[in-house]
Structure 1
Amino acid sequence: MNGFFRRFTLLFLGVTVIFAAFGAEKVTFTTKAPMIVAAGDAFRVEFRLNAKPDDDTFEAPDFEGFEVIAGPAVYRGQSMQYVNGSVTNTYEFTYTFVLLPSTPGNYTIGSARIEVDGESHRTQPVPIEVIDEGAQAPGTAQSAPAESEANRQSPAARQKGEVAADDILLRVQLSRTSVYKGEPVLAAIKLYYRIPIVGINEVKFPSFNGFWAQELDVENRPARRETVNGKVYECSVLKEYLLYPQQSGTLAVDPAELTAVAQIVVQNNRSRDPFFGNMPDVYNVDRKLRSQKIPVTVKELPAGAPESFTGAVGRFSMTETPPPAQLAANSAATYTLRISGSGNLRFVQAPKLPLPASFELYDVKSSEQIKTAGSGASGYRQFEYPFIARAEGDYTAGPVEFTYFDPARSQYVTLSGQPLHLTVTPDASGGTGEARIVKGLSKEEVKMLGEDIRFIRSGKPRLVPAGRPLLFSAPYFASLAVMLLAFAGLYTLMRKRIRDSRNSALVRGKRANKVAVQRVRAAGRAMNEQNQYAFYEEMSRALWGYMSDKLNIPVANLTKENVREELAKRGVAAEEAQHFTDIITRCEEAQYSPMASAQMSEVYTRGVEFISRMESLIKKRK
């Protein structure tokens, strides 16, 4: 028994390890440090890893400009989750250092290195600004010796309800401000902040008049640190666009506007809590921001563009897939051209494919695969030229030319394909068929006129009427007469049915036989099952019900004497009435005294014969 549990435990651990390998998260190695620190105040720097590192592989950066007071202190954490048959292991390793800055200025915490399963991982460098707080306003609190808040507030923000002019900035940055017409420009709307931002309201993004704008995806892009005017900020990209100028001259990118809600923490020295000490006050302050209007100089493309230039700007290459060198007359083929590169790729148009006059060129089909990034649009556009060769012979077509403007070299570049040498052989019918030679046209200009174009018949036309119109003809009047007769017959039938439905006695008489037949069938099933009581009950109900419906007498008032009288009034012989009385009497007696199955068969036969005779003897009421 112990061996079974041991094997089961080993199997469970093995499965757990396998699932844990599949459920492992992507390795991330990051740095957490304050953005702003005061000279002389110690602070913490943490290097966080979400996986289990290899032993003795952590390498700390060179903390230039800081004095290392303590560290590294290593924290290890591990948790396991088992959800719906999936096991996920979560690791957390943190290496903590305590640093002491001495001189104000801008410094950078370099990259730390560590290995996980033999693969090296590095953190991103983190800038830190060291400020001098010796002249801070009264009532502001010094930072704690080991403060580790990433968004530590600047001294200007520690005043109650105040936000310094340079604590929050809104900028619109362009990758370039002087471009050629059609050359892409990257526009990024960025929010810089040195204090926590808890909300953004009243957002108004700029309008890009004169540009064709394409928005880029920045939803999952994390914030990063940037240095502006010697100060370190957290920077979040709110929007990013690729702008394609559509006209030359001086264009302007309008300002962006928004209201940022900043959170300010002020140390409260007015009262002291006996247990927790001074509790800070937290304020939310609205700050209206507006970026600058940025002019963009758009240069016109140089004059003298080749005829094959259709507005492509960037750097491109061209590949072609020619059709078969030999094809039959009246057969289809396709020439394929792919233009790859980067630039205003979405505006690239299909180059012209020169073909002989005897070739029919159809609508060009295009497909594309374009990836848009901060550097511009890159990928390819593919064009397919379907055509049909009509006349046989040897032809030379092309070459295809594509011209683009290269802004880096400020000149036009023309790409040329290879000439197409095509041999068109006769088709399956020998190239003749119903083709006609038209004087004044060369062989290359001849069309398959027998198939594509039908000549107008010449000479005196002989028109023969195809037939007389149906209107006012003999078939027309015959059809009207048939429809009128059908309508009259249908109207008479409907009137008769309405009249008969109002006569309840007639209706009951008509359905008497149908109801009786159903009950007799039920009696027959009971007879086959040797159920005497059910058989005689159903036969009795069938006969009484039949006579009630046929003679129009309510069942409650129906007696043997009434039946005799009504049958005599209808001219039915007294013997038939006696037959009915005999059958009813035998049914009533048999319900309370046992009888043989042969008697059931006899009663069944006599009952069916009686109902059949009544249908022919009793005359229907008029």
Structure 2
Amino acid sequence: MIKGLYRVFGRTAAAAALTLLCVLTASAQNSFTADAPAVVSTDEIFRVVFTATYEGGKVSDFVPPSFEGLEVLAGPVSSTSTSYQNINGQSSTTHTRSYTYTVRAMQEGKVTLAPASVKIGKETYSTEPRTIEAVKGQVPDQGSAAAGGQRQSAGEDLMLRMSVSKTRAVVGEPVIVTLKLYVQSSAISGFEDVRFPTFDGFWSQEIDAPQNIQFVRENYNGQIYNSALLRRYMLLPQQTGALTIDPSELVCLLQVRAEQTGPRSIFDDFFSSYQTIRKRVTSEPVTINVSALPAGAPASFTGGVGSFRLSAGFDSDSVAAHEATSLKITISGTGNINLVDAPKVQLPADFEAYDVRKTENISTGESGSTGTLTFEYPFIPRAPGVFDIDPVEFTYYDIAAGRYRTLSSGPLRLKVGEGTRTDAAVIPSGVSKRSVESLGEDIRFISTVPRLKKAGRMMVGSPAMLIIPVAIVLAAAAVWILLSRSIARRSDVAGTRNRKAMKVARARLKNASAFLRQGLYSAFYEELHKALHGYISDKLMLPVADLTRERIGEELRSRGKDEAVIQELYDILDACEYARYAPASGSEAMEKHYQQAVKVISQIES
């Protein structure tokens, strides 16, 4: 009877736990979001869409926001969709319910779209507030300019802009650099000959490097643009003065409707032909004025600039002698935490210290680097006792306060008990003395019994006396000649690069071939581009910064290469640049470009 009750109770509890798990899982996968453009033009009609995504339950009680500052022209229009997927035998069904409003901004300025709410099952979900900015600028065209009438010349609305988070900083203060492309009506189909800025005088880290360029609306100087983020960097100034960031540039491939001569037809808009033109855009250089840190930094300053916290402690408050333990110091905060050095720690003489180990947990975003640094100081105490260690101090420069701040861990105490020595090779802390020991054979007496033997032939006057010095001189001369040639060969850096160009290119082509077989489109073209650029740089003995089309053609012509080979090299470089920003074109095109690269390198090498 009792066993039966236990069995029933167990099944009921398992079923309840399974039901609770399913409810929690479904609840965790439900969401309710709002989608609206960040920037609109006054009197522009646009849509605001609220979307509920769920796997189970029922959607009800939708409460829209007040739409204050916006005129609702239509809505809500409700729609429902369902998607099904099966991954590794695990099937799932996702439902989507959306509510769409057609609205218009009533006046210029920023409008806050209040949260909307909906009930999914028994839970209520709300959207995050969104800010919509209305300006008087013209609405950017999502495609190319319409045919006919007066239109802007192709590419005149393009702008490459490099912005910085600040133009004045101190040494070590993080500066965020953002590179964006702005466009209003031009239709961009790709990019080529991209040159990103160099950061002389800065320690730099790339934060964002989008593989797929996406355009979003942005208000710039009162005009609405479609902007795309190309790169975002974090810079840490390493020297003082006016540091200039060189311009960045790229070539945009624009799709332009071909001009037609003669009478027009009503079908021209449906069967128009387009041509691709190239437009080079360049950003303006940016200057950042970097000041030195104030004088009089404490001895515990290790280069930290920002806002930090300090904590320190032993793995255990007590340990036995001859057992390994460690002191851990954790520095957390925001700033140039990437470049912070380990604080100085003075351990007692009875502690056998080892190299410091450093562990990083850092994330870098638009506000700089944030995270923690953990420094571990391993050691082995060799004597028992209670040891008080001086507080660990860490000084950093507080940007907001404009002064140095010193953090202290407070006193640190470690109790070391009696332990057993396990390492016989350990040198004791003191010097032990012992009596002189007689080894019995420490004195060798002079032998009194003569032991004479007949002397051999004298070497003086023999042929060997003449041959051996000559052989030594010849061997020394041969070694000197070989070493001289080896030194000359190693000092010839340009020649070494030239000789190794084919070897390096072959290794990179091998990597590109592996990506080709795996069908990795972006990785293939990235590696193929590196192989060609690296080979040309080594073969022509040119730095990568000087690898322009004109310079490459000039150098190859001076080496007697055919124009057909030079043009074929241009074509494959253009194909690689285009492929890095364009959709995948298939394995056949990848195979063709690979064979073309191998052929070009072979022709230049021959």
Paired letter, 1:228: Y
1:271 corresponding residue in structure 2 = 264
- Does residue 228 (structure 1) correspond to residue 220 (structure 2)? The answer is yes
Deviation at 1:244, TM superposition (A): 0.9
Paired letter, 2:77: V
2:35 corresponding residue in structure 1 = 30
1:49 corresponding residue in structure 2 = 51
CA separation in 1, counterparts of 2:246 and 2:253? 23
Residues 448/169 of structure 1: CA separation in 2 closer, same or farther (3 Å cut): same
Paired letter, 2:177: A
1:447 corresponding residue in structure 2 = 429
Residue-by-residue CA offset, 1:20-57 (whole Å, 9 max, x unaligned): 959967544312699568x7xx7453535364853442
TM-score, structure 2 as length reference: 0.57
1:185 corresponding residue in structure 2 = 175
Conserved 8 A contact 1:158-1:265:
no
1:86 corresponding residue in structure 2 = 91
- Does residue 171 (structure 1) correspond to residue 161 (structure 2)? The answer is yes
Structure 1 residue matching 2:224: 3-state secondary structure: strand
Residues 382/258 of structure 1: CA separation in 2 closer, same or farther (3 Å cut): same
2:314 corresponding residue in structure 1 = 322
Please point out which of 107, 120, 144 is paired with 2:126.
Answer: 120
Residues 73/344 of structure 1: CA separation in 2 closer, same or farther (3 Å cut): closer
CA separation in 1, counterparts of 2:149 and 2:112? 29
CA separation in 1, counterparts of 2:270 and 2:180? 37
2:297 corresponding residue in structure 1 = 305
Residues 351/46 of structure 1: CA separation in 2 closer, same or farther (3 Å cut): closer
- Does residue 462 (structure 1) correspond to residue 442 (structure 2)? The answer is yes
Structure 2 residue matching 1:351: 3-state secondary structure: coil
Structure 2 residue matching 1:388: 3-state secondary structure: strand
Residue-by-residue CA offset, 1:396-438 (whole Å, 9 max, x unaligned): 3212111111121121111122223445555458x9x9999xx
Paired letter, 2:249: E
Task: Identify the range of structure 1 (42-51 vs 111-120) with the bigger mean alpha-carbon deviation.
Answer: 42-51
CA separation in 2, counterparts of 1:370 and 1:261? 38
Deviation at 1:190, TM superposition (A): 0.9
Structure 1 residue matching 2:341: 3-state secondary structure: coil
Structure 2 residue matching 1:346: 3-state secondary structure: helix
Residue-by-residue CA offset, 1:109-161 (whole Å, 9 max, x unaligned): 652653232211257444455468xxxxxxxxxxxxxxx99627779997567
- Does residue 74 (structure 1) correspond to residue 66 (structure 2)? The answer is no
Deviation at 1:263, TM superposition (A): 4.2
2:68 corresponding residue in structure 1 = 62
Residue-by-residue CA offset, 1:371-416 (whole Å, 9 max, x unaligned): 1111111111111222233345554321211111112112111112
Q: Indicate the structure whose relative CO is greater, using CA pairs within 8 Å and at least 6 residues apart.
A: 2
Residue-by-residue CA offset, 1:278-314 (whole Å, 9 max, x unaligned): 7666554432111111111111111111111121111
Conserved 8 A contact 1:260-1:286:
yes
1:439 corresponding residue in structure 2 = none
Paired letter, 1:462: D
Conserved 8 A contact 1:128-1:232:
no
Conserved 8 A contact 1:157-1:163:
no
Structure 1 residue matching 2:391: 3-state secondary structure: coil
Identity %: 30
Residues 328/122 of structure 1: CA separation in 2 closer, same or farther (3 Å cut): closer
CA separation in 1, counterparts of 2:147 and 2:131? 27
CA separation in 2, counterparts of 1:393 and 1:98? 77
Residue-by-residue CA offset, 1:532-586 (whole Å, 9 max, x unaligned): xxxxxxxxxxxxxxxxxxxxxxxxxxxxxxxxxxxxxxxxxxxxxxxxxxxxxxx
CA separation in 2, counterparts of 1:115 and 1:260? 43
CA separation in 2, counterparts of 1:156 and 1:229? 28
1:256 corresponding residue in structure 2 = 248
Deviation at 1:344, TM superposition (A): 1.2
Conserved 8 A contact 1:106-1:230:
no
Task: Identify the range of structure 1 (183-192 vs 263-272) with the bigger mean alpha-carbon deviation.
Answer: 263-272
Conserved 8 A contact 2:32-2:126:
no
TM-score, structure 1 as length reference: 0.56
Structure 1 residue matching 2:127: 3-state secondary structure: strand
CA separation in 1, counterparts of 2:40 and 2:258? 18
Considering only aligned residues, what root-mean-square deviation do their CA atoms show, in Å?
Answer: 4.5
CA separation in 2, counterparts of 1:381 and 1:86? 42
CA separation in 2, counterparts of 1:282 and 1:390? 82
Conserved 8 A contact 2:39-2:133:
no
CA separation in 2, counterparts of 1:305 and 1:34? 47
Residue-by-residue CA offset, 1:210-251 (whole Å, 9 max, x unaligned): 111111135379643221121011221111111111111221
2:283 corresponding residue in structure 1 = 291
CA separation in 1, counterparts of 2:317 and 2:343? 21
CA separation in 2, counterparts of 1:290 and 1:454? 82
Residues 426/187 of structure 1: CA separation in 2 closer, same or farther (3 Å cut): same
Residues 174/190 of structure 1: CA separation in 2 closer, same or farther (3 Å cut): same
Residues 407/252 of structure 1: CA separation in 2 closer, same or farther (3 Å cut): same
2:100 corresponding residue in structure 1 = 95
Deviation at 1:358, TM superposition (A): 2.8
CA separation in 2, counterparts of 1:267 and 1:23? 56
Structure 2 residue matching 1:216: 3-state secondary structure: strand
CA separation in 2, counterparts of 1:202 and 1:279? 32
CA separation in 1, counterparts of 2:356 and 2:105? 69
Conserved 8 A contact 1:434-1:449:
no
1:379 corresponding residue in structure 2 = 371
CA separation in 2, counterparts of 1:149 and 1:20? 42
CA separation in 2, counterparts of 1:456 and 1:72? 106
Q: How many residues align?
A: 410
Paired letter, 1:406: D
1:400-479 aligned within 5 A: 400-422=392-414, 424-428=416-420, 447=429, 462=442
CA separation in 1, counterparts of 2:436 and 2:167? 65
Conserved 8 A contact 1:108-1:127:
yes
2:578 corresponding residue in structure 1 = none
CA separation in 1, counterparts of 2:25 and 2:323? 61
Structure 1 residue matching 2:63: 3-state secondary structure: coil
Structure 1 residue matching 2:298: 3-state secondary structure: coil
Structure 2 residue matching 1:54: 3-state secondary structure: strand
CA separation in 1, counterparts of 2:29 and 2:148? 42
1:558 corresponding residue in structure 2 = none
Residue-by-residue CA offset, 1:469-505 (whole Å, 9 max, x unaligned): xxxxxxxxxxxxxxxxxxxxxxxxxxxxxxxxxxxxx
